């Protein structure tokens, strides 16, 4: 997620699970059995990243599962960014310009996309094609220069070749498929201030929504798209877009005391986000948002944040050179599990 900020140091990883009420060493999952759990993307460094697996009941956990299942294959590449799914396939995006395709349940390699990519970030699948955002020449160090050469790579999933590109003329990062339309945040590292809406039938940008701040995360539910916008110099905002019209319906300005809000999640009619290591929650129906956190996590460097059902998953990148952890909390802030994973864990994905 923030790959340009990381040190270029590789560490080996061990993994174990600790319950807050009881310590126990886990059994490791049998080879090729990754159903019913979650994947943790470990961004790693410029040389190598990895993926960890945790059973949904937290009874089993394993690290470096790609290497374990594919010992004769080259690795995933450095700065692993994200995973997206299509049926039984999982597509693992690496910032070293590679997408590795695996069976999501066995993690056996099925193929790779190794050309036509330039700093790929996130992807979705539409009608047999993958749409993957590429930040191209953009980096954390030159964020303020306002690069506009980002693009969407359109990948034929039958051939695993990039068959065309959609030039954004702006930044491109997060991507969602909603009602057969593609929504892309034109932002990265608090630069950029818009959202692009793409028609995948014509591969053209049909609409651009402009915000007062930089949209860093978004989620759709019940016909609405909720977008969290923030910057280092202005108050954060929660913007609601009506998906029937693709028009901005409402904007809530967050308290100035909150600062740079990130990691929007919407679950069970609640909106969640983070500021530093603090977790905030508010009803979707609320007209204002409080600056009092629901709880403060124990994360040193909160790097990834996911809310699923009644649990909150926080990935901790520590100091960027030591192996990280995943903390699992109740929505009231009770620490349930603490999991040691790989280097720079940046996200959790459910299988």
Nearest to 157 by CA among 128, 200, 127: 128
Which residues partner with 112 through β-bridges? 100
* Contact assessment for residue 134 and residue 141, using Cβ atoms and an 8 Å cutoff: no
Q: In what order do the strands lie in the sheet with 98-103?
A: 80-86, 89-94, 98-103, 109-113
For residue 47, the model assigns a pLDDT of 94
Tell me if 94 sits within 8 A of 76, measured CB to CB: yes
Q: Is 309 exposed, middle or buried (0-12, 13-18, 19+ CB in 10 A)?
A: exposed
CA angle at 323 for the pair 97 and 9, rounded to the nearest 5°: 55
Q: Looking at residue 30, what is its pLDDT?
A: 54
Query: Residue 52's domain is classified under what CATH number?
Result: 2.130.10.10
According to the model, what pLDDT value does residue 24 have? 36
Q: Which residue shows structure tokens 């759709």?
A: 220
Domain count of the fold of the chain: 1
Structure-block tokens of residue 151: 């693009």
Q: What is the DSSP string of 48-114?
A: --EEEEEETTSSBEES-HHHHH-TTS----SSEEEEEEETTEEEEEETTTEEEEEETTT--EEEEE-
Name residue 219's beta-bridge partners.
226
Name residues of the chain where pLDDT drops below 50.
1-25, 27
Q: Which domain holds residue 185?
A: 3-350
Give the span between the Cα atoms of 86 and 81, in whole angstroms: 17
**Tally of CB atoms within 10 A around 328:** 21
At 190 the pLDDT is 85
CA 277 to chain centre: 17
Q: Residue 58 and residue 338: Cα distance in Å, rounded?
A: 10
């Amino acid at each position: 997620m923030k790959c340009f900020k990381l040190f270029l140091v590789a560490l080996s990883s061990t993994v174990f699970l600790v319950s807050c009420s009881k310590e126990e060493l886990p059994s490791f999952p049998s080879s090729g059995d990754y159903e019913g759990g979650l994947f943790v993307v470990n961004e790693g460094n410029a040389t190598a990243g990895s993926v960890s697996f945790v059973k949904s009941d937290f009874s089993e956990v394993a690290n470096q599962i790609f290497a374990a299942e594919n010992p004769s294959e080259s690795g995933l590449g450095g700065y692993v960014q994200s995973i997206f799914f299509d049926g039984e396939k999982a597509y693992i995006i690496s910032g070293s310009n590679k997408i590795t395709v695996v069976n999501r349940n066995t993690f056996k390699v099925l193929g790779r996309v190794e050309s036509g990519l330039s700093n790929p970030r996130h992807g979705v699948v539409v009608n047999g094609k993958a749409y993957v955002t590429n930040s191209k020449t953009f980096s954390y160090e030159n964020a303020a220069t306002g690069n506009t050469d980002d693009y969407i790579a359109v990948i034929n999933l039958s051939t695993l070749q990039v068959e065309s590109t959609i030039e954004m003329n702006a930044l491109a990062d997060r991507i969602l498929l909603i009602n057969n339309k593609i929504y892309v945040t034109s932002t990265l590292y608090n630069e950029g201030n818009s959202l692009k809406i793409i028609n995948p039938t014509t591969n053209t940008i049909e609409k651009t929504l402009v915000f007062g701040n930089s949209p860093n995360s978004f989620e759709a539910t019940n016909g609405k798209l909720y977008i969290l916008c923030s910057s280092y110099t202005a108050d954060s905002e929660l913007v609601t877009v009506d998906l029937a019209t693709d028009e901005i319906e409402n904007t809530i300005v967050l308290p100035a005391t909150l600062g740079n809000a990130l990691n929007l999640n919407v679950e069970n009619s609640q909106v969640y986000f983070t500021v530093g290591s603090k977790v905030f929650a508010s009803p979707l129906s609320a007209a204002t948002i409080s600056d009092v956190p629901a709880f403060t996590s124990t994360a040193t460097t909160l790097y990834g944040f996911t809310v699923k059902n009644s649990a909150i998953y926080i990935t901790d990148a520590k100091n960027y050179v030591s192996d990280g952890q995943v903390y699992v909390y109740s929505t009231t802030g009770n620490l349930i599990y603490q999991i040691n994973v790989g280097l720079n864990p940046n996200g959790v994905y459910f299988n």
